[in-house]
Structure 1
Amino acid sequence: MNIASAIVQAFAPTGTLRASINLGNPILANRDPASGQPFGVSIDLANELAQALGVAIELLVFDAAGKSVEALEQGRADIGFFAIDPKRGEHIAFTAPYVLIEGSYLVRDESPLQSNDEVDRAGTRVMVGKGSAYDLFLTRELKAAAIVRAPNSQAVVEEFVRQGADVAAGVRQQLEADQARFLGHRLLPGRFMVIRQAMGVGKSRGAEAADFLAAYVERQKASGFVAEALARHGIQGASVAPPA
């Protein structure tokens, strides 16, 4: 692919594509316990983009979505992988989503809560990962329940148990994994939101860069690359987003 030098410069002004990676969402990125290296569908997409641009890749790894967003907004990263959200969209140009993920609620077995629509009640404390997509969403949507924030998504259930909160909110797959560590809990049926995971570039990089990235994501969905990456990494609980 013959890519204009202006596009390459927009994405990699330092000569290296710096990709902001959030390990707080295990569907998109994890760290290999043996090597310590990050892996996942977002890393695969970042590597492929760097190869297309003809530049080196540098992965900037964070433990929480908020930190990953800040890296892009502050210009320390060139691209990132985020859940689409209006507030983040003030400074980030998002592509259409490449993956759809369910956001779910976890409660104790003895909790009186039986459905998602029962959560938003006075006196209910909902634990979320600070700065996560569901933190932003629930901050807007919950009118009566109180939000309590854990440092990151991985710590949500641990803090939920430690602080005696009523509900833990997060990515369904992460909550299911935490059930094995913290027995005596159940997921409420269904989902409270669909998390639309997209790639993003700073709006300051220009409309051409945003359009190029959007087209790149659509090609990777249409070619089967995203589906193959999800399968290769053994990811369940996520689906490839439909064409834009």
Structure 2
Amino acid sequence: MPDETLPTLRFAINAGNAVLASLTPDGQPAGITVELAKNIARHLHCRPRFITYPAAGKVVEDAGRDIWDIAFLAIDPKREDLLRFTSPYITIKGTLMVREQSDWQSVSEMDRPGVVINVGKNAAYDLWLSRELHHATLNRLSSSQAAIDAFLAGEGEMVAGIRQPLEAAAHATPGFRVLPDDFTEIQQAVCVAKADDRYFDAITELLARLREDNTLSDIITRHLRQ
């Protein structure tokens, strides 16, 4: 049981990134970022409180609004006006799922006129694609999972996302496949609001320690195998 005498530390958990966090059947957050949050809370002699979000965009919107203290998000230049990021603790890959019978073979082929790509609004790969694409159209859905669901239901020529959730969806649904290459590697970091960076140095110190003693790699490996 948590020590009720300890101060509370509020963690924003993005459940829209299934590689890093998800909700258990009873609605509790779990995954890499949740375990990392518990380590941070112990290091700061606090008890964690988890505030779950369906997508990254809302986490960013709430930065500096006294709703959360620490978050876990992809590093992106567009977010750095509001957030202060640590060095990355994991790098994940962005790719595409397409229909099995389609001619698509590589992510390098996606930027064509008339191509509609489903994405989760304000996800890290949405921000990257928004900068890099010149011809294809992005169909922005409320979350990464909503983008996948819409594609499986027939909307769009392809769906962009993180490799592991796309591969899980393709495996579970006949008629779809994930392309073998990636359009970007997304660096995930711990972050705080620039308006409130009192925990930043302590988090940076802890991450260095967790890397050095292999605790961080053990956490990541264990959850990715589940």
TM-score by length of 1: 0.85
Partner of 1:218: 208
Is the partner of 1:205 in helix, strand or coil?
coil
Give the alignment partner of residue 78 of structure 1, picking from 51, 69, 76: 69
Aligned-partner residue type, residue 118 of structure 2: M
TM-score by length of 2: 0.91
Partner of 1:229: 219
1:41 aligns with 2:32: yes
CA RMSD of aligned residues (A): 1.8
Partner of 2:42: 51
| Residue ranges of structure 2 left out of the alignment (5+ in a row) | 1-5
Aligned-partner residue type, residue 31 of structure 2: G
Partner of 2:21: 29
1:110 aligns with 2:101: yes
**In 2: Cα distance, 1:235 partner to 1:88 partner:** 30
Aligned-partner residue type, residue 206 of structure 2: Y
Change beyond 3 A, Cα 1:149–1:109? same
Measured after TM superposition, the shift of residue 40 of structure 1 is: 1.1
**In 2: Cα distance, 1:144 partner to 1:74 partner:** 37
Q: Percent identity?
A: 39
Partner of 2:144: 153
Task: Check conservation: 1:129, 1:152, Cα contact below 8 A.
Answer: yes
Aligned-partner residue type, residue 86 of structure 1: P
Partner of 1:4: none
Aligned-partner residue type, residue 210 of structure 2: Q
Matched residue count: 221
| 1:38-68: CA deviation from partner (whole Å, max 9, x where unpaired) | 1111111111111111122110011111122
**In 2: Cα distance, 1:102 partner to 1:160 partner:** 19
Partner of 1:99: 90
| 1:90-113: CA deviation from partner (whole Å, max 9, x where unpaired) | 110000100111111111112222
| Residue ranges of structure 1 left out of the alignment (5+ in a row) | 1-13, 237-244
Measured after TM superposition, the shift of residue 15 of structure 1 is: 3.5
Measured after TM superposition, the shift of residue 230 of structure 1 is: 2.0
Runs of 4+ in structure 1 deviating by more than 3 angstroms, as ranges, are none
Measured after TM superposition, the shift of residue 182 of structure 1 is: 2.7
Aligned-partner residue type, residue 116 of structure 1: V
Task: Check conservation: 1:104, 1:191, Cα contact below 8 A.
Answer: yes
- Bigger proportion of residues as helix: 1
Please show how residues 158-177 of structure 1 align to structure 2 within 5 Å. Answer: 158-177=149-168
| 1:100-155: CA deviation from partner (whole Å, max 9, x where unpaired) | 11111111112222111110011101100111111111111111100001211112
